[in-house]
Structure 1
Amino acid sequence: MTTTQTTAPEAPRGDAATKPYSLIGIPAPTGRALATGGGALAVVSTFLAWTWTSEFPGDLTVYGYPGGLQVLVLIGGALTALFGLASYGVKGLRALTPGSADSALKLAALGTFVTTWYTIIAISVQLGGLVNLEPGGYVAAAAGLATALGALSLPYERPETEPGDPDDSGWEKFRHSARNAATVFKAGFTTGPVAPPRALPAYAEILVIVVALALGLTVFTYGIGTEYDELFVGFLITTGFAFAAVAKAGLVSRVSALTAKHRNVTLVGAFVAAAAFPFTQSDDQYATIGVYILIFATVALGLNIVVGLAGLLDLGYVAFLGVGAYTAAMVSGSPSSPFDIHLPFWASALLGAAVAMVFGVIIGAPTLRLRGDYLAIVTLGFGEIFRITVLNMDGTSGPDITNGSNGISSIPNLNILGFDFGEEHSIAGFAIGRFANYFLLMLLITLVVVIVFRRSSDSRIGRAWIAIREDETAALAMGINGFRVKLIAFALGAALAGLAGTVQAHVTYTVTPEQYQFAHVVPPNSAFLLAAVVLGGMGTISGPLVGAALLYLIPAKLQFLGDYQLFAFGLALVLLMRFRPEGLIPNRRRQLEFHEETEAPTVLSKAGA
């Protein structure tokens, strides 16, 4: 008996890099045709009436004009059809999938199916059965089933790493292995392998960045302005699957590379796009959510210095926001303040940041010699001590400074150089209300925090923070003063939180101890701040901003769930952390950390007699 060992022939690169397999046994070409055709049919169905009555929100009774949830199905179907055509190599569309075309098609098709059938089920439940569907609804249901079958029949592939160069050695070999690890990810909501980008002119690269920012502003404006509950749930489904599909296609990696190359252009463009948000609103309703998102995001970015860069787990960070807010409230001229002081905003902002920094030093000096869980417990205790202290400063249990549970109320609106933030103003023909005024002011504060974060992370002290985070023992052995470096991070993060708190005090009119708990239904609080940093992407600028926006917007829009609100929210977090553990917008280092266990598939040998 002889034993022979054979190896499979070398597979082509790209989507067919390794041997695929289908979940339901339908051949892959048939699956692509089903998914692509189903996406196109879904687009057609949105121009038909889905129900005969306008009692379902969005008025899905109109022919030739998609409305409500039909718009989301239209987007999902169009994305599915485009990725499907790109998978066939259609000229001009292949550029849409520099990564994995089949993986992008699969996720887009599944998103179309889920959104379509969610709408069909919602219509049936709310109106009382499938009998309330018009022909367009049945066409949409069939299109959704076709996309689902097509998605399930597409092969699941483990992408192959780039072949190693035997002549590589030293640093080049390390760079090569890093590229391999960066292009091999687990299936799910992670980016696919990205082909080498084609060189574009500088103006074209900037144009791509502008389009990406405009698209982000459009998605955010649409999500924050959803008029009814069913539409927001559909928006979450469509956005989640669309982002995953675009990431798998490799477009997210391409845009990230361009933004890293043109950092200043990206920063200015993002600021302009955010500043345009109030001008897209017809009233001040959604600007209210916008300004609170900015406050939450700014504080999360400050926490990112402590957690993301220095690696210090701070569970009482929201207390520094409270220190800044109480400081500003006491010197704002409020009748509830024990001090008869009314400072201009620039003075109160600097004072709030300075007082918060002092508290950061006071708390950090005796505690930052601790590490890990011990430091987390101490900072958690500081947060509770702050809340209990301001609660007891009511003139009965302690000195009369903070009015106890009543807090400091009737905080006046800001007036900077004659511009009253509490009044409506007309700018370029657009009516800008109170919360829109504070939104623009908070945007300036956010810009300051972003610049501080960026300059700090790129500085010598920023490199020391990263060294401490990665391995404190090794950093100390290299001569880094760990205690001093960590204290600077703690103080700087506290100052940025205090700066945001000075604006929060004027926005909310009242500051009370209940606003600064570790865990509270309404953010910001320490738990939500930490979740925003981890969910968005530790050590990055845009990550905490996106994470904070999601963590504030989703609970605000899920209030219709009542007692199940936190359950649905927690489930969403579990899914996101399962499929995107490195965060929505991670840096390359964390991508490698979470995916370093993924290896290239091995070729199995077969023994024969």
Structure 2
Amino acid sequence: MTTQTTAAKTPDTPTPAAPRGLVGLPESAGRALATAGGVLSVISTFLAWTWTAEFPGDLTVYGYPGGLQVLVLVGGALTALFGLASYNIKGLRWLVPAGADSALKLAALGTFVTAWYTVIAISVQLGGVVNLEPGGFVVAAATLLALLGALALPFERPAPDPFDPEDTGWEQFRHKARHQGAVIKAAFATGPVKAPTRKLPGFAEILVIVAAMALGLLVFTYGIGTEYDELFVGFLIIAGFGFAALFKAGLTSRVSAITAKHRNVTLIGAFVAAAAFPFTQSDDQYATIGVYILIFATVALGLNIVVGLAGLLDLGYVAFLGVGAYAAAMVSGSPSSPFDFHLPFWASALIGAAVAMVFGVIIGAPTLRLRGDYLAIVTLGFGEIFRIAVLNMDGTSGPDITNGSNGISSIPNLNILGFDFGQEHTIGGFTIARFANYFLLMLLITLVVVVVFRRSSDSRIGRAWVAIREDETAALAMGINGFRVKLIAFALGATLAGLAGTVQAHVTYTVTPEQYQFAHVVPPNSAFLLAAVVLGGMGTISGPLVGAALLYLIPAKLQFLGDYQLFAFGLALVLLMRYRPEGLIPNRRRQLEFHEEAQAPTVLSKAGA
């Protein structure tokens, strides 16, 4: 025993080196520097950054942050908060259940990028750094110091994977690349896991859900209401890094666990928060974007049944939206319609949904025996057939039903129980205009679709869809009627798309074939719908809703990029798919598929979590 103890203390025994950060500063100094830099960044937003109001946002006022200063204020506050939490302060432990170091790095990086983007934009637009006031120099130095301090925090370098001498050169290259990627990823990996905090009481968990919904409404309202291009770019930067920091801190996982525990409260809270959006707007400008986002999101959620649950790759799904829109337009009293009908909305909505379901069964019955790429090609062909068919039904190339390229126009506004959706109404002292009315109507339809998706995914047929998606051959061997199950998914998805199309027809006043192409400049189209499902997270409820909102809002706000808009958009998608292939709000099963190093949970969450 004595010999072993002596041998353990001999100089020949290697001592493991203490982990170091990317910057050669002591850990204590880096932590203090990052925290102080975050505080100084907050203080700098109350100083003037430029002397002239020609730069948008009026950054010339002392004591009142405006424009991009507000975003840097948020980033600096997060940096300072995570910096204080990294000292393991008792009152802040609940905010960083997975550790604060990684979150501190991301928050400092986001604040640095936003601040330096603003300083560079001021210098370029106004003609040099001479146009900066002292606050501009202070924020540049403060965010740089905060970033250097955050990068000085240590991280554990992962051990390399052992090489197999029988591996080929390519396999050895993959081992090296995987190790290098793990080293880089570890630089921003979560810090040491803290001790579990005490469980919150039930009322406190409800308050957490309310706070999360209020924060979501605030972020969405601010993003959709950005008045100029520079502000929206800064919003994207700080929002992206901010939510990434919250995720690395483990706070989003904790809130997700609370919302999963109180699913009904979460659903009601989300509906109330969304319904409050029109009341936050002073005019109908941004409510217009909101109603189109809801239409896009509802259709994406319907596609999520087909792609996310059943695993059927449908590239012509937007055609079902067009079927519902055309069917509703023909029976809603439009003078361009060949049918002299003016049915109430509930009847036109049922007709649009039923016709779309019939088309879904007609198209799905002969094609759903195909799999994979073959099914995708057939559905893509259906989408083009629909567009060409309605284009040729102009009375010249075919029967006079859809007016060809002119479409069905002058669709009247909805009138439900005497409530005219085309007129302004005053509710509780707030004036609600046309698009706000349709926003609230579309919100109700979205709620119906969410309930249908949730009930379907939790049912026996929903479990059969997941089984088909995971392994169709194994599912068939277990006695599942694969064709019937896939046909139900196809028909249900088509029905929900047709239901959304009935509202779209009245919102846009006109339905034309160009609106329902596979790839169109303005969503919704089949390519953007599929991207919304994959980006948000297949098999979930909130994933496609968030993905659709981002995919509609970002292109609408990035129009100033001109020809480079799709390039920037595509680059962002590539980066997201590289670093988060499971989607923004992933299903737990898919998250485990893409992250093999993650430990399997004891109980897998439901498909609609």
Closer, same or farther: CA 496–151 of 1 in aligned 2, 3 Å: same
> 2:406 corresponds to which residue?
406
Question: How far off its partner does 1:215 sit?
Answer: 0.3
Cα-to-partner distance string for 1:260-280 (whole Å, 9 max, x where unaligned): 100000000000000000000
Closer, same or farther: CA 77–598 of 1 in aligned 2, 3 Å: same
> 1:245 corresponds to which residue?
245
Q: Distance in 1 between matches of 2:189 and 2:393?
A: 50
Cα-to-partner distance string for 1:332-375 (whole Å, 9 max, x where unaligned): 10000011111100000011000000000000000001111111
Q: Secondary structure at the match of 2:479?
A: coil
Cα-to-partner distance string for 1:161-205 (whole Å, 9 max, x where unaligned): xxxxxxxxxxxxxxxxxxxxxxxx965999886864531111111
Q: Secondary structure at the match of 2:61?
A: coil
> 1:439 corresponds to which residue?
439
> 2:140 corresponds to which residue?
141
Query: Aligned pair 1:38/2:37, yes or no?
Result: yes
> 1:113 corresponds to which residue?
112
Query: Aligned pair 1:346/2:346, yes or no?
Result: yes
Closer, same or farther: CA 130–475 of 1 in aligned 2, 3 Å: same
> 1:605 corresponds to which residue?
none
Q: Distance in 1 between matches of 2:454 and 2:496?
A: 13
Question: How far off its partner does 1:445 sit?
Answer: 0.2
Question: How far off its partner does 1:310 sit?
Answer: 0.3
The answer to whether the Cα contact below 8 Å between 1:83 and 1:101 also exists between their aligned partners in 2 is yes
The answer to whether the Cα contact below 8 Å between 2:102 and 2:188 also exists between their aligned partners in 1 is no
> 1:96 corresponds to which residue?
95
> 1:315 corresponds to which residue?
315
Closer, same or farther: CA 341–47 of 1 in aligned 2, 3 Å: same
Closer, same or farther: CA 503–557 of 1 in aligned 2, 3 Å: same
- Report the AA paired with residue 434 of structure 1: R
Question: How far off its partner does 1:574 sit?
Answer: 1.4
> 2:81 corresponds to which residue?
82
Q: Secondary structure at the match of 2:431?
A: strand
Q: Secondary structure at the match of 1:431?
A: strand
Q: Secondary structure at the match of 1:92?
A: helix
Closer, same or farther: CA 81–264 of 1 in aligned 2, 3 Å: same
> 2:266 corresponds to which residue?
266
> 2:337 corresponds to which residue?
337
> 1:62 corresponds to which residue?
61
Closer, same or farther: CA 69–441 of 1 in aligned 2, 3 Å: same
The answer to whether the Cα contact below 8 Å between 1:190 and 1:579 also exists between their aligned partners in 2 is no
The answer to whether the Cα contact below 8 Å between 2:314 and 2:375 also exists between their aligned partners in 1 is yes
The answer to whether the Cα contact below 8 Å between 2:110 and 2:237 also exists between their aligned partners in 1 is yes
Question: How far off its partner does 1:28 sit?
Answer: 2.4
The answer to whether the Cα contact below 8 Å between 2:336 and 2:408 also exists between their aligned partners in 1 is yes
Query: Aligned pair 1:296/2:296, yes or no?
Result: yes
- Report the AA paired with residue 494 of structure 2: A
Q: Distance in 2 between matches of 1:343 and 1:554?
A: 37
Closer, same or farther: CA 148–253 of 1 in aligned 2, 3 Å: same
Question: How far off its partner does 1:91 sit?
Answer: 2.7
Q: Distance in 1 between matches of 2:337 and 2:186?
A: 56
Question: How far off its partner does 1:24 sit?
Answer: 2.7
Q: How does 1:176-187 map to 2 (within 5 A)?
A: none
Question: How far off its partner does 1:34 sit?
Answer: 1.7
> Which deviates the most, 322-331 or 93-102?
93-102
Closer, same or farther: CA 375–207 of 1 in aligned 2, 3 Å: same
Q: Distance in 2 between matches of 1:334 and 1:474?
A: 51
The answer to whether the Cα contact below 8 Å between 2:102 and 2:190 also exists between their aligned partners in 1 is no
Closer, same or farther: CA 486–196 of 1 in aligned 2, 3 Å: farther
The answer to whether the Cα contact below 8 Å between 1:295 and 1:442 also exists between their aligned partners in 2 is yes
Q: How does 1:560-575 map to 2 (within 5 A)?
A: 560-575=560-575
- Report the AA paired with residue 106 of structure 1: K
Q: Secondary structure at the match of 1:312?
A: coil
- Report the AA paired with residue 569 of structure 2: F
Q: How does 1:147-158 map to 2 (within 5 A)?
A: 147-157=146-156
Q: How does 1:344-383 map to 2 (within 5 A)?
A: 344-383=344-383
The answer to whether the Cα contact below 8 Å between 1:113 and 1:145 also exists between their aligned partners in 2 is yes
Cα-to-partner distance string for 1:50-99 (whole Å, 9 max, x where unaligned): 00000000100000000000000000000000000000112311221101
> 2:171 corresponds to which residue?
none
The answer to whether the Cα contact below 8 Å between 1:306 and 1:313 also exists between their aligned partners in 2 is yes
The answer to whether the Cα contact below 8 Å between 1:409 and 1:510 also exists between their aligned partners in 2 is yes
Closer, same or farther: CA 205–19 of 1 in aligned 2, 3 Å: farther
> 1:125 corresponds to which residue?
124
The answer to whether the Cα contact below 8 Å between 1:353 and 1:496 also exists between their aligned partners in 2 is yes
> 1:206 corresponds to which residue?
206
Query: Aligned pair 1:51/2:50, yes or no?
Result: yes
Closer, same or farther: CA 278–191 of 1 in aligned 2, 3 Å: farther
- Report the AA paired with residue 483 of structure 2: F
Q: Distance in 1 between matches of 2:442 and 2:206?
A: 26
Q: Secondary structure at the match of 2:426?
A: strand
The answer to whether the Cα contact below 8 Å between 1:188 and 1:244 also exists between their aligned partners in 2 is no
Q: Percent identity?
A: 87
The answer to whether the Cα contact below 8 Å between 2:93 and 2:197 also exists between their aligned partners in 1 is no
The answer to whether the Cα contact below 8 Å between 1:316 and 1:384 also exists between their aligned partners in 2 is yes
Q: Distance in 1 between matches of 2:399 and 2:305?
A: 34
> 1:177 corresponds to which residue?
none
Q: Distance in 2 between matches of 1:194 and 1:380?
A: 50
Q: Secondary structure at the match of 2:90?
A: coil
- Report the AA paired with residue 363 of structure 1: I
State the structure with bigger RCO (CA 8 A, min sep 6), 1 or 2: 1
What is the TM-score when the length of structure 1 is the normalising length? 0.90
> 2:226 corresponds to which residue?
226
Closer, same or farther: CA 350–135 of 1 in aligned 2, 3 Å: same
Q: Distance in 1 between matches of 2:242 and 2:26?
A: 25
Q: Distance in 1 between matches of 2:501 and 2:507?
A: 10
> 1:170 corresponds to which residue?
none
The answer to whether the Cα contact below 8 Å between 2:100 and 2:190 also exists between their aligned partners in 1 is no
Q: Secondary structure at the match of 1:93?
A: helix
The answer to whether the Cα contact below 8 Å between 1:47 and 1:65 also exists between their aligned partners in 2 is yes
> 1:535 corresponds to which residue?
535
> 1:451 corresponds to which residue?
451
Question: How far off its partner does 1:21 sit?
Answer: 3.7
> 1:14 corresponds to which residue?
none
What is the TM-score when the length of structure 2 is the normalising length? 0.90
